[in-house]
Structure 1
Amino acid sequence: MDTNRSYRDVLRDRRLAGLLLGDLLANAGTGMIIVAMPVQTLSIHGSVPKAIAIGLVEAAPFLLSTLLALAVGLGRVRVPPRTLLIADCVLRSLTFTVLGVLAVTGRLTLPMLIGGLLFGAMFRMAGSSSRRLLATSMAGETGRFAVNGLLGLNTTFALYIVGPVLGGVIVASASAGVALFFDAGGALVLLVAVLASIPGQATSRRTRAALTRARAASTRARAASTRTQEALTRARATEDRAARQAPPEDRAGKQASPEDRAVTTAHAAGPESGWRILRRRPVAARLLVVEFFFNFFYMPIEVALPLYVQGRLDADASALGLMWGALGVGAFVGAALVNQLRNLPQRHVLIAIIGLWAMCPIALAFVDDLALALVVFGLGGLVWAPFTPVAYSYLQSGLRPDEQQQVVTLWTTGATVAAPLGLAVGGPLIEVAGSMGGLALSGGLTLLLLPIAALAVLRHASPRPSAETA
Structure 2
Amino acid sequence: MPRLPRTSPYWPVVSHPLLRRVLPGLAVSALGDGMAVVAVPWLARQLAPTGQRGLWIAVAVAAYTLPSAVGTVAFGRLLGGRGGAQLAGWDAILRAAALAAIPIAYLTGTLTIGLYAVLLAASALLHSWGSAGRFTLIAELLPQRHHLPANAVLTTISGFATVVGPPLAGILIGWVGSVWVIAVDAATFAVLALTYRLALPATGTIRRYEHSAPRTAGFAFIRRQPTLLGLLVLSVAFFFLFGPVYVAMPLHITDDLHASATLLAAYYTAFGIGGLLGGVVAGHLRHWPLRATIIGIVIGFGAAMLPLGVGAPVVLSLPAFALAGLIWAPYMSTSMALFQRSASTEQLPAVLAANSAVLVLAVPLGTMLGGPMVGAIGPRPTLLLSGMAILALGLVAAGFATLRRSTPGTVRMPLRSSSRPWRSQGEREAEADQH
TM-score band, normalised by shorter chain? 0.7 to 0.9
Pairs within 5 Å for 1:375-386 = 375-386=319-330
Residue by residue over 1:230-273, the C-alpha shift from the partner in whole angstroms, topping out at 9 and shown as x without a partner, is xxxxxxxxxxxxxxxxxxxxxxxxxxxxxxxxxxxx99x96781
Residue of structure 2 in register with 1:369 after alignment: 313
Residue 80 of structure 1, CA deviation: 4.0
How far apart in 2 are the matches of 1:37 and 1:118? Answer: 12
Return the TM-score normalized by structure 1.
0.79
Pairs within 5 Å for 1:18-417 = 18-46=21-49, 49-71=52-74, 78-103=81-106, 106-158=109-161, 160-201=162-203, 273-417=217-361
How far apart in 2 are the matches of 1:106 and 1:185? Answer: 21
- Measured at CA, do residues 5 and 318 of structure 1 come closer, stay the same or move farther in structure 2, by a change above 3 Å? closer
Which ranges of structure 1 fall in alignment gaps of 5 or more residues?
A: 215-265
Residue of structure 1 in register with 2:409 after alignment: none
Residue 428 of structure 1, CA deviation: 0.8
- Measured at CA, do residues 77 and 161 of structure 1 come closer, stay the same or move farther in structure 2, by a change above 3 Å? closer
Amino acid at match of 1:371: V
Residue range with higher mean Cα deviation, 381-390 or 394-403: 394-403
Residue 279 of structure 1, CA deviation: 2.8
How far apart in 1 are the matches of 2:213 and 2:44? Answer: 46
Q: Contact 1:104–1:177 at 8 Å: present in 2 too?
A: no
Residue 377 of structure 1, CA deviation: 0.7
User: Would you say how many aligned residue pairs link Structure 1 and Structure 2?
Assistant: 404
Alignment partner of 1:453 is 2:419: no
Residue 75 of structure 1, CA deviation: 9.5
Residue 333 of structure 1, CA deviation: 0.9
Residue by residue over 1:158-192, the C-alpha shift from the partner in whole angstroms, topping out at 9 and shown as x without a partner, is 1x111112111100111111101111111111112
- Measured at CA, do residues 117 and 347 of structure 1 come closer, stay the same or move farther in structure 2, by a change above 3 Å? same
Residue by residue over 1:380-428, the C-alpha shift from the partner in whole angstroms, topping out at 9 and shown as x without a partner, is 1111111111111123212233332222112212222212111111111
Residue 305 of structure 1, CA deviation: 0.8
How far apart in 1 are the matches of 2:203 and 2:78? Answer: 24
Residue 32 of structure 1, CA deviation: 1.0
Residue by residue over 1:114-149, the C-alpha shift from the partner in whole angstroms, topping out at 9 and shown as x without a partner, is 111122222122112211211332122121111111
Q: Contact 1:286–1:456 at 8 Å: present in 2 too?
A: no
Q: Contact 1:136–1:148 at 8 Å: present in 2 too?
A: no
Residue of structure 1 in register with 2:423 after alignment: none
Residue by residue over 1:357-388, the C-alpha shift from the partner in whole angstroms, topping out at 9 and shown as x without a partner, is 00122221123422222111111111111111
Amino acid at match of 2:304: C
Amino acid at match of 2:69: T
Residue 53 of structure 1, CA deviation: 1.1
Aligned-partner SS, 2:347:
helix
Residue 90 of structure 1, CA deviation: 1.5
Q: Contact 2:297–2:331 at 8 Å: present in 1 too?
A: yes
Residue range with higher mean Cα deviation, 309-318 or 163-172: 309-318
Give the CA RMSD over aligned residues.
Answer: 2.9
Residue 101 of structure 1, CA deviation: 2.7
How far apart in 2 are the matches of 1:87 and 1:38? Answer: 25
Q: Contact 2:77–2:213 at 8 Å: present in 1 too?
A: no
Residue 431 of structure 1, CA deviation: 1.4
How far apart in 1 are the matches of 2:218 and 2:77? Answer: 5
- Measured at CA, do residues 453 and 74 of structure 1 come closer, stay the same or move farther in structure 2, by a change above 3 Å? farther
Residue 302 of structure 1, CA deviation: 1.2
Residue of structure 2 in register with 1:442 after alignment: 386
Aligned-partner SS, 1:413:
helix
Bigger radius of gyration: 1
Residue 76 of structure 1, CA deviation: 9.5
Which ranges of structure 2 fall in alignment gaps of 5 or more residues?
A: 1-6, 407-427
Residue of structure 1 in register with 2:418 after alignment: none
Residue of structure 2 in register with 1:256 after alignment: none
Amino acid at match of 1:426: G
